[in-house]
């Protein structure tokens, strides 16, 4: 039988080891685990009262378990656990009250609407709220259909200037944006914490990643080349010569989620500016402030007018933008349901969709670095309350090492209790809202009712949900917590006997984003690479590894196209051919 632990005092939470903000190596920090509050534990996995728990993300080079895409669970077009097009329910038709703006010392961005070279502070407003405290942070003006149309036309006009920018000028602009983000690092991190509930250390890490992303954009701006094409392949075409070069398709419409309000925006804005395309950005309704601050930085960096316009708006208004012929490219990060709907109404645009997933991780009996496995897996599954689309959601463990790994996983899972995200020791804060937390809790309860064994889980308090670890017999087909994108702090564990069984279970999903495989066997790595229909296989690390320079994207319901600055530039550009005779 399971037993319930006594609740300790509120200030006795474990000191979680947070990832290094440099984005290179992770830091392991020992934490003494007190009696676990409201934890249900199988007796064979109950931790001692003073277990040393190093909690940290991947120790791999570059970016690890907390790095990725993600997505908001509040889309009114889709109640799936991904991004949204929805407006905050607190929207109201009014001018921003003179006394409503927070003190200047908070250095919040201007919440007015900046489109077509003009500033609008009249109209509907929506309040951004702090997910941890529920306090109002700032009001943001919402664009109506007419203002959105003006932004689209302004982007079309701006394209005539941006497409003619020399590569050195685009590089210089992106370097200046990078410099200004670096200067504003702490300010941006505080914005991310306040509007998304992301723990402070992870928020700083996100800003550092955005600095890298814009830096890559500056480098790639002068590398957009072409190719000489031999046309003298027959006697009749002997006089012809040809070459092609990449040119921007046109203005870009970008729609982004709440969970990485800076770096996922950067992954759309940086490649667009690098190739000479203006952007209209529709941010998530929960997290527009970081995007508005970035737009200020872009304007102050000397960008041509209307190069980046941020347009917070309602679903219906966003759909008018998606249908608009002013845009040549739609790039969307969010839920599969919303993404495929937008693709269907996008017309002739080139569409890039970065959608969700239920990432699997396979740990075979010959896995190296066994001592670090539990720390890597927990950081990947639970950091930022699991609100990352490539977080480890399904874990497949070989029977020979299952008991040993679980004995380490359970106490580490218990250490992941929600903490104030402003604390530098926090690894898990609130979920974006109570509705999202209730959905994950409901899926956990459904799995338990269907026979899943709870190894560790806690009681939800509003939008605060402790990490949960469930052992599931077999592949778990039919369970939402296995088959759908959880987007929350939960990990299911499945034990297998043959590597082929692990591949079969890991691949039995409609998603195809990334999979982690721990093994020392090159033949097994090749087998996994050949058989799993996903965007990437990560060997000897968790599936939440994302390096901002790599081609990133999914297959099947996880999307189409690729991000990563160089590869996003390929999506936003087309080959233009010059044929010459003589």
Sorted by sequence, the CB contacts under 8 Å of residue 78 that are 6+ apart come out as: 84, 334, 335, 337, 338, 341
Dig out the tokens for 381 from the structure. 């599954």
Q: Closest Cα partner for 259 from 544, 468, 20?
A: 544
Sorted by sequence, the CB contacts under 8 Å of residue 235 that are 6+ apart come out as: none
Q: How far lies 187's CA from each of 104, 107, 193, in Å?
A: 12, 7, 10
Q: Which residues are catalytic?
A: 354, 389
Other CB atoms within a 10 A radius of the CB of residue 393 amount to: 29
Cα–Cα dist 534/143, whole Å = 37
Dig out the tokens for 82 from the structure. 């991904």
Handedness of CA 418, 421, 422, 423 (dihedral sign): positive
List, in sequence order, every beta strand (DSSP E) within 259-387. 279-282, 308-310, 329-333, 350-354, 360-363
CB 469 within 8 A of CB 440: no
Strand pairing partners for 310? Answer: 281
Kind of pairing between the strands at 124-129 and 92-93: antiparallel
Kind of pairing between the strands at 394-398 and 490-496: parallel
List, in sequence order, every beta strand (DSSP E) within 150-268. 226-229, 240-248, 252-255
Q: Closest Cα partner for 330 from 171, 536, 152?
A: 152
∠ CA(488), CA(529), CA(380), 5° rounding? 25
- DSSP type of residue 558: G
Kind of pairing between the strands at 40-41 and 453-457: antiparallel
Kind of pairing between the strands at 536-539 and 514-518: parallel
∠ CA(275), CA(279), CA(280), 5° rounding? 170
Kind of pairing between the strands at 40-41 and 3-4: antiparallel
Cα–Cα dist 395/516, whole Å = 9
Sorted by sequence, the CB contacts under 8 Å of residue 408 that are 6+ apart come out as: 373, 374
Dig out the tokens for 185 from the structure. 């690092």
CB 27 within 8 A of CB 17: yes
Q: Closest Cα partner for 60 from 393, 545, 550?
A: 545
∠ CA(304), CA(332), CA(144), 5° rounding? 65
């Amino acid at each position: 039988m399971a037993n319930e632990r006594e609740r300790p005092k509120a200030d006795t939470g474990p000191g979680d080891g947070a990832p290094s903000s440099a984005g290179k190596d992770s830091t392991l920090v020992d934490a003494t685990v007190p009696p676990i509050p409201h934890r249900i534990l199988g007796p064979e996995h109950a931790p001692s009262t003073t277990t040393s728990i190093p909690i940290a993300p991947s120790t791999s080079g570059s970016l690890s378990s907390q790095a990725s895409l993600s997505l908001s669970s509040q889309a009114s077009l889709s109640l799936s656990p991904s991004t949204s097009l929805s407006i905050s329910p607190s929207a109201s038709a009014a001018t921003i009250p003179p006394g409503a703006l927070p003190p200047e010392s908070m250095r919040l961005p201007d919440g007015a609407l900046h489109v077509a070279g003009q500033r609008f502070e009249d109209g509907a407003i929506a309040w951004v709220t702090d997910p941890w405290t529920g306090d109002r942070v700032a009001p943001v003006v919402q664009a109506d259909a007419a203002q959105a149309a003006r932004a689209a036309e302004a982007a079309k006009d701006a394209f005539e200037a941006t497409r003619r920018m020399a590569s050195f000028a685009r590089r210089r602009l992106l370097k200046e944006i990078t410099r200004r983000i670096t200067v504003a690092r702490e300010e941006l991190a505080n914005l991310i914490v306040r509007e998304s509930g992301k723990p402070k250390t992870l928020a700083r890490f996100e800003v550092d990643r955005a600095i890298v992303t814009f830096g890559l954009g500056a480098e790639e701006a002068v590398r957009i080349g072409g190719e000489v094409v031999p046309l003298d392949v027959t006697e009749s075409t002997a006089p012809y010569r040809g070459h092609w070069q990449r040119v921007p398709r046109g203005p870009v419409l970008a729609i982004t989620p709440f969970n990485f309000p800076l770096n996922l925006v950067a992954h759309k804005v940086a490649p667009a500016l690098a190739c000479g395309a203006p952007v209209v950005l529709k941010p998530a309704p929960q997290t527009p402030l970081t995007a508005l601050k970035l737009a200020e930085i872009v304007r102050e960096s000397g960008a041509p007018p209307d190069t980046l316009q941020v347009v917070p708006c309602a679903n219906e208004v966003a759909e008018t933008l998606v249908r608009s012929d002013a845009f040549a490219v739609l790039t969307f990060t969010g839920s599969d349901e919303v993404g495929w709907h937008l693709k269907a109404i996008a017309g002739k645009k080139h569409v890039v969709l970065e959608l969700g997933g239920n990432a699997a991780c396979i740990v075979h009996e010959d896995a190296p670095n066994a001592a670090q496995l539990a720390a890597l897996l927990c950081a990947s599954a639970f950091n930022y309350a699991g609100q990352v689309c490539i977080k480890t959601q399904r874990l497949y463990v070989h029977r020979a090492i299952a008991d040993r790994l679980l004995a380490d996983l359970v106490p580490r899972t218990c250490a992941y209790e929600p903490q104030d995200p402003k604390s530098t020791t926090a690894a898990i804060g609130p979920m974006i809202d109570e509705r999202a937390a209730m959905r994950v809790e409901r899926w956990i309860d459904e799995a338990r009712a269907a026979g899943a064994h709870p190894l560790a889980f806690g009681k939800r308090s509003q939008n605060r949900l402790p990490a949960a670890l469930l052992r599931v017999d077999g592949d778990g087909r039919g369970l939402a917590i296995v088959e759908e994108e959880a987007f929350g702090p939960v990990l299911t564990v499945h034990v297998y006997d043959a590597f082929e069984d692990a591949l079969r279970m890991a691949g039995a999903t409609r998603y195809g984003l990334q999979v982690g495989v721990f093994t020392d066997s090159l033949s097994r790595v090749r087998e996994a690479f050949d058989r799993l229909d996903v965007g990437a296989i990560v060997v000897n690390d968790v599936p939440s590894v994302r390096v901002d320079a790599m081609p990133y994207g999914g297959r099947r319901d996880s999307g189409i196209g690729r991000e990563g600055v160089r590869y996003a530039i390929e999506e936003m550009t087309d080959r233009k051919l010059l044929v010459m005779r003589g």
